[in-house]
Structure 1
Amino acid sequence: MNDGALIGSTGQPAGQRAGRRTAGWHSGLSRDPSDLRDQIYTPTLRLLSPEADPGGFAAAACPADGCPSYPIRNQGDAGTCVGQALANLIDIHRRRANVANADPVSPQMLYLMARRIEGRETSADTGVQSLRSAVKGFYHFGCCPDRMWPDPVAQAAADDLPSEVERFKSARGVTLGAYYRVRPILNDYHNALVEADGILVSAEIHAGWQDDAVSAFSVASADRRGRIPVSSRGLGAHAFVILGYTSEGFLVLNSWGADWGGFRDRPGIALWKYEDWARNVMDAWVLRLGVPAPEAFQYSVGDQGISFGGADIRAGSTACHQLLGHFAHLDDGVHVERGSYATSRDYVAQTTDRLRKRSKRDRKPVLLSVSGSLMGMKDAFDFEARRRQCVEDICDMYPYAVLWCNDLIESATPVLTHLFSTAVQRVGPHSDRLNAEIEKVTAGIGRAFWREIERAARTAGRHVTKGTDGAAAEIFDRFAAARTPLHLVIEGAGALLMAEYLESLNSDTGNAAENRRRKKLAERFHAAVASIDLIAPVMEAPRFQSAFGPLIRGLSVLKPGRATLWVPTRPFEERLSIDHYAGSMLDLVLYSFQGRPRDARLVGMSRQRSGIAQLCGAGGALQGLRIGPIRPRVPGRRRYEYHEVSINLACHTMILRHLARIGEAGAKQ
């Protein structure tokens, strides 16, 4: 049988022999590392029966087709036991819920997403390091049907398989609602089995798991058949599902095919004695599936389920599937291809190709946002996921976010926080010299941090030659070619990335062919851009004027009212602070990180400080640029944090409503 094959849903007879696991198999499993964020399963006081042998598994075969009434997978020699076990548990939950047409889910997807979470090569077949990785992978990506993402052998034999975009889109229909770690306490296991229908378990296994007693065709005596005998010869770590319990031990559903098991004449299921469990168990998790809720994007989603969040920033991570196909994640100027929020050039190409191939009637304008709000990756992703529904509801556009500097910010924040504390210890929290001291102690680290931001912008935003352009440059070029209006929202430091791109389009490379290519790309991009909104850009006026001036002037001539600069009002700006620093993030960047003189100004400061308004009038270098005010969400406070500028709810709502009016005007033409 092919690796990862499923018995019981394919019409294959339950008694047909399947390939047994061989010595070449290796799971790569180890114990889950400690994580204080884990939620622990707490048993209830419900009455427990002496035995929990789930009713749905009472019969060895379905009357209709002679197949087992439960999933039996066979991983063969592949080290995919974690994916196989989690797939079994998901299928069990779906069958219990009587999901209509519940196709078996893909263990291959679960396995590969676990490896992606661990930052390992997804093409390798050397196992997964921990159960937590598989659970997190399922949380972030969901799971598609097995027929859409089969094992490698079946993929090689298939004529037509769906694209990864289609797989991930389908995976949103089967997601994780909540999950809890189960302590190795017998009572907790018994309660969890009664309440949660099954437990995902890892354990050290031994030669007893390969004994003839656990063959579905065993000739062993009745008191041994289907019972795993204890052995001192270890085989390594393995993952499986516990389905129930008896007075002797736990009922295990394995992924070694239909010829393994035989407990109470049921293939795939064996009895794991309590003494064996106590000696060898490693980790265990219970879960509940999420209810498909496409209308629930206005609710923030944390690691333990859906919960309402009114704050601007939440600590919990948002599941990746909430934004799949709607974001690119860059770090150091290149795509982050591993981890919870992985993307690639190929993913971007698949997204833009799908947009371009839509009929004119079905093609939506694209709202392309470039982050730069100085949030960490999890906070930025959470914000974009919540904004997505607002974009679709208010202005009916296709939202896409480029998250490019958030990992750098996340890594620098603890260091800067420590330096702030150092400054406070030196001069005191109420000293008149505190601002100057903070700028002094953060200058060295701050300069290095800002150089990394600027380098990442250059790496990602610049064109080189066809096929080797920066990751962000390729994103902007592809969306410009998608044959749909492009609305740009550039936040904070995102202006650096977009400036690199625009300057690259207009630069003279000394190569005639390359110059022609860039000229064509520039013409296409300028023609595609239908509007631009810049929120507190971290850039001085001369460069801003040079980089953005041509685009702004072009919009003002062809589409008046389409270019807006959003900056804080002067009273709001005066109350911005960062911890003990009585100034905005722009002040800290300009005077500490960049070491600029005190009379220097950034475009993203209030219009009174920046003086940018004089360039926006008739005949000015930024003619046609409107200036919109950003006001505090909650007026009257003495101090405001800088994120209340960059992700200001009122500002973003005004932008979306303005874009909705643009869309309505375009529809009437």
Structure 2
Amino acid sequence: MPKAETQNRTFDVLPDPADFRDRLYTPTLIEVPPRIDLEEYKLAKVPLLNQGSEGACTGFALATVANYLLRRRKVDPDEIPVSPRMMYEMAKRYDEWSGENYDGSSARGAMKGWHKHGVCCNELWPYEVKKIDRILTTERIEDAIMRPLGAYYRVNHKDLISMHSAINEVGILYVTAVVHDGWYNPTDAGVIPPSEKKLGGHAFVIVGYNSEGFWIQNSWGHEWAKDGFALLTYDDWLENAMDVWVARLGAPIRLHTPRATATSLSENAGKAQVYTFGTVRPHIINIGNDGQLQREGTYGMAKEDVANIFEKELPQLTQSWSKRRILLYAHGGLVDERSAVQRVADYRPLLLEHEIYPIAFIWRTDFWTTLKNILEDALRRRRPEGPLDSAKNFLLDRLDDALEPLARTLGGKHQWDEIKENGILATKNAEGAGRILLEHLDALLNTDPDIEIHIAAHSAGSIFFAPLIQLLTTSGKIKAGPMKGKSGQGHTIASCNLWAPAITIDLFKECYLPVIHNGTVKHFDLYTLTDKSERDDHCANIYHKSILYLVSHAFENTLRIPLIRDQGVPILGMSKYVEQDAELTSLFKGKRSHWFQTPNNLPEKEIGASRSQRHGDFDDEKLTLISTVSRILETAIHDADVEFQRSAASMKSEREELDTHQ
């Protein structure tokens, strides 16, 4: 990041990149006075902060905004200073630039951080210069949600009328501008003189105005200018301004039950994430490119956050349990981040009730949108304009055969390869998220070997777990597969539950089968659709079989060619390939491995019961989850209260389905 350092000050604020999604402030007809005096603002007794030499002005300026709004709140005013450090660290998570290992940030990033997380008090997250402390502890999260940001708007920085109106409405503006040498030489009256020597970007607040310019509050301590305040002329502002934001506080709420957390995260609840972040956060490992931890965004995290789960969150929550169990879960390849988090919130009440601590890998697959576009493009290349001629009905039976090579060529195989690579690298990469988790899990199990580890995965999640299971369970050197040559940790997995796994049978035999055979994985349950259900499924109503058929026929290494190479690549989640494999059919004749085809008519309270009819059903089908939990507990659970909230992806799919019938 470019920055300037002058007189021990760092100027590294960057202008907000253009984003037409910003909501723009519109002035109302409220009367705008000719001036708002500085003395009027000072009545609020807002703390005057000092950022020192670190480039953290975005956090300090926004903390000043929060301090003012909280003190001036008509109901329950709050004089406890907020944390500039939290404002600053969250700002870097929402900047458009990768990572957090840099000084400085943008105004929009800081606003997003406050909106997503709230802000805790300064006592819980104090500002200590150059001390790296980025962990969002539960204590900080729970305190922060009591100071949420409500509505916030961008103000046109060139529109002085809008700025005057916004100050009059709210009392304070959060701004950034290029500062110059005149900032080091204010007059006795606090006026910043003009200068041609530019120093860099800086964040501060505007708290009043008169006919000459804006009154500002800086974060350079009381010794600067007029007791920490200065007058910035309109000429100076119009020449050097970058960004302006105006905001109002939100109303704090508390949620006391896991069910309320899941409901508030759902698409129907709108933007309630700030209130539920702290509840779901200790159960998530967020993964970005190359399998490494995803540092940006709502659920961004660093190594310290993973350590915090194992060293603080998990021990605190499970300390009174009679038996500690950890469930590692990986979602499928068609799931976006928000839907994946929603599932964690949905599963959490049932799992915690039965003393199972879930840790979910959110690995940003979201293949669905890309796949739908690829299939639509492939279909356009195989049909004429206008309605199809009924005389060509016989060709419909061959449509899937025609779409498969096109979907492969148009990017389907490349996208699928990328998903698999990211999943594998999470453990294979020494800095991968899976590898980081395993280091902490290994230490925990060596301390308390009575803790049970369980695995559950849907679709592509089975690929994600392939190297992780190798490394976790193998004793000595690993002989084959992605982790070949590495030394395993030699731990036991109490149960492994795969729902419609997208892993190839070859990779399954390399990574899973050896440790299932030797008993290191004590119980293995496989859930697949029946072949009829697989063929009755569809992808976006374009490809008329399940996604696993498309993967098997078109996206794996060998392309299926009708009559010439009539079989696709064998996938574990497809019943027809399981039936054709002698080693697998032999496996399921034993007592420790079970294969359940769905939808089935097993009694609801029996392990293996599932009513899943499509590939995408498994992760939000009640009986499948209950059956998996029963396997983990080694006893059928009764009267389980499970409720799945509608995800954004689910609602979008339904809307698109309805659109096709207009």
| TM-score category of the 2 structures, normalised to the smaller one | 0.7 to 0.9
Per mean C-alpha deviation after superposition, the further-off stretch among 578-587 and 489-498 is 578-587
Residue of 438, 458, 467 corresponding to 2:403: 438
Residue of 12, 24, 31 corresponding to 1:28: 12
Question: Could you tell me how far apart the structure 2 residues matched to 1:372 and 1:618 are?
Answer: 25
Conserved in 2, the CA contact under 8 Å of 1:630 and 1:651?
A: no
Shift of 1:136: 2.5
Distance 1:227 1:419, change over 3 A: same
TM-score when normalising by structure 2? 0.73
Shift of 1:53: 5.1
Shift of 1:417: 5.2
Residue of 178, 182, 185 corresponding to 2:155: 182
- Does residue 380 of structure 2 align to residue 425 of structure 1? yes
Distance 1:281 1:470, change over 3 A: same
Shift of 1:440: 0.9
Question: Could you tell me how far apart the structure 2 residues matched to 1:209 and 1:578 are?
Answer: 59
Within-5 A mapping of 1:454-469: 454-461=420-427
Question: Could you tell me how far apart the structure 1 residues matched to 2:301 and 2:83 are?
Answer: 21
Q: Secondary structure at the match of 2:378?
A: helix
Aligned counterpart, 1:63: none
Per mean C-alpha deviation after superposition, the further-off stretch among 611-620 and 84-93 is 611-620
Unpaired segments ≥5 residues, structure 2: 389-394, 601-611, 639-662
Aligned counterpart, 2:571: 602
Question: Could you tell me how far apart the structure 2 residues matched to 1:380 and 1:356 are?
Answer: 23
Conserved in 1, the CA contact under 8 Å of 2:534 and 2:546?
A: no
Conserved in 2, the CA contact under 8 Å of 1:585 and 1:642?
A: no
Shift of 1:70: 0.9
Aligned counterpart, 2:88: 111
Counterpart code for 2:307 = A
Aligned counterpart, 1:244: 208
Within-5 A mapping of 1:152-551: 152-153=128-129, 165=137, 168-169=140-141, 170-184=143-157, 185-213=159-187, 218=188, 225-262=189-226, 267-290=227-250, 291-295=252-256, 297-299=261-263, 308=269, 323-340=280-297, 341-354=299-312, 357-358=315-316, 360-361=319-320, 365-376=325-336, 378-384=337-343, 386-387=345-346, 390-391=349-350, 395=354, 397-404=356-363, 406=364, 414=370, 419-428=374-383, 432=396, 433-444=398-409, 445-461=411-427, 470-471=435-436, 473-474=438-439, 477=442, 484-504=451-471, 505-506=473-474, 509=477, 521-522=489-490, 524-526=491-493, 529=494, 531-541=495-505, 544=508, 547-548=511-512
Aligned counterpart, 1:584: 546
Conserved in 2, the CA contact under 8 Å of 1:335 and 1:343?
A: no
Conserved in 2, the CA contact under 8 Å of 1:578 and 1:641?
A: no
Counterpart code for 1:279 = E
Distance 1:567 1:183, change over 3 A: farther
Question: Could you tell me how far apart the structure 1 residues matched to 2:466 and 2:166 are?
Answer: 55
Q: Secondary structure at the match of 2:381?
A: helix
Conserved in 2, the CA contact under 8 Å of 1:85 and 1:255?
A: yes
Computed over aligned residues only, the root mean square deviation of the Cα atoms, in angstroms, reads: 4.7
Conserved in 2, the CA contact under 8 Å of 1:539 and 1:602?
A: yes
Aligned counterpart, 1:222: none
Shift of 1:133: 1.9
Conserved in 1, the CA contact under 8 Å of 2:426 and 2:464?
A: yes
Per mean C-alpha deviation after superposition, the further-off stretch among 420-429 and 471-480 is 471-480
Shift of 1:242: 1.8
Shift of 1:629: 3.3
Q: How many residues align?
A: 587
Shift of 1:87: 1.2
Shift of 1:244: 3.4
Shift of 1:175: 3.9
Shift of 1:382: 4.0
Q: Secondary structure at the match of 2:62?
A: helix
Conserved in 2, the CA contact under 8 Å of 1:252 and 1:271?
A: yes
Shift of 1:165: 3.3
Shift of 1:535: 1.8
TM-score when normalising by structure 1? 0.73
Shift of 1:387: 2.9
Question: Could you tell me how far apart the structure 2 residues matched to 1:162 and 1:448 are?
Answer: 36
Question: Could you tell me how far apart the structure 2 residues matched to 1:181 and 1:193 are?
Answer: 13
Question: Could you tell me how far apart the structure 1 residues matched to 2:499 and 2:219 are?
Answer: 53
Distance 1:286 1:565, change over 3 A: same
Within-5 A mapping of 1:62-81: 69-81=45-57
Counterpart code for 2:459 = G
Distance 1:622 1:191, change over 3 A: farther
Distance 1:489 1:232, change over 3 A: same
Counterpart code for 1:252 = I
Conserved in 2, the CA contact under 8 Å of 1:106 and 1:146?
A: yes
Shift of 1:74: 1.5
Shift of 1:258: 0.9
Shift of 1:550: 7.0
Conserved in 1, the CA contact under 8 Å of 2:36 and 2:208?
A: yes
Question: Could you tell me how far apart the structure 2 residues matched to 1:74 and 1:557 are?
Answer: 57
Counterpart code for 2:360 = A
Unpaired segments ≥5 residues, structure 1: 1-20, 60-67, 219-224, 632-639
Counterpart code for 1:110 = M
